[in-house]
Amino acid sequence: MKSKSNINRLFILGIIIIICSMPLGYIIGWKILGQGHSIELATLLFESTYKSIQLVGIGVIVLSCFNIKNKD
């Protein structure tokens, strides 16, 4: 039962990462990396940063799904 709880937590963590990807992408890509650059480059950095964070969230969800299948 404890492993089910950890898997559920991993799944919820993935969902939270995906939900927070846009604000984190804005902070990291636009404010930190894109500061002092042109708007086009800052926008590109913002888009690539938040898409990368979304991929991490999707990876966490997929890992939790594989763990659910392996435990059952």
3-state secondary structure at position 20: coil
The Cα–Cα gap between 1 and 9 comes to: 13
Q: For residue range 20-70, list pLDDT tens digits in order.
A: 998 888 888 888 887 888 888 888 888 899 999 999 999 999 988 887 666
Q: What is the pTM of this model?
A: 0.76
Both tokens of residue 68?
Answer: 């659910």
Q: Return all residues near 11 (Cβ < 8 A) that are at least 6 apart.
A: 60, 61, 64, 65
Cα-atom radius of gyration of the chain, to the nearest Å? 16
3-state secondary structure at position 29: helix
Instruction: Kindly indicate the confidence band of residue 19, based on its pLDDT and cuts at 50, 70 and 90.
Output: very high
